[in-house]
Amino acid sequence: MAQPVNLAEKLSLFSELWSQRKIADLNDYEVKLAKLHGEFVWHTHEDTDELFLVISGRLTIQLRDGDVVLAPGELFVVPRGVEHCPKADEETAILLLEPTGTLNTGDAGGARTRPVTTLD
């Protein structure tokens, strides 16, 4: 029987920063959690939008034409092809919604690229 997903419980299962954890599938999309602190890399996703929902902490999504600051319970969709760089001045927990197979570093690649791990 299907069970609800408890976000706090799933977040307690990992501590690694900037490493996405898949918690559900939605059609051809993955619902993922991540913990962030510090600044990521500037990148784009040419073929898809990217949804960020802040669970705890604060997230700044840096855009070339200005920053978007998110508090808990707020979300922002970065449109496809828009260069962005997530930054968290404190540990922040987020939920992401992206097509299956979307790389966390988009077109930038590099050392911070991580495969998505599934949480059971």
43-88 tens-digit pLDDT: 999 999 999 999 999 999 999 999 999 999 999 999 999 999 999 9
Would you tell me how many other CB atoms lie within 10 Å of the CB of residue 39? 14
Give the residue-averaged pLDDT of 16-45: 95
Give the residue-averaged pLDDT of 9-22: 95
User: Which domains does the chain show, CATH number per domain?
Assistant: 20-114 (2.60.120.10)
Least confident of 3-12, 19-28, 99-108: 99-108
pLDDT at 109 over 70: no
Q: Dihedral, CA atoms, 107, 37, 66, 52, nearest 10 degrees?
A: 70
- Give me the residues paired with residue 105 across strands: none
Type of residue numbered 34 = A
Type of residue numbered 62 = Q
Query: Quick one: tokens of 95?
Result: 């939920």
- DSSP string covering 75-92, please? EEEEPTT--EEEEEEEEE
Better-scored residue on pLDDT, 41 or 108: 41
Distances (CA, A) of 57 to 33, 53, 80: 14, 11, 25
Q: How do beta strands 50-56 and 84-99 pair? A: antiparallel
Q: What is the pTM of this model?
A: 0.91
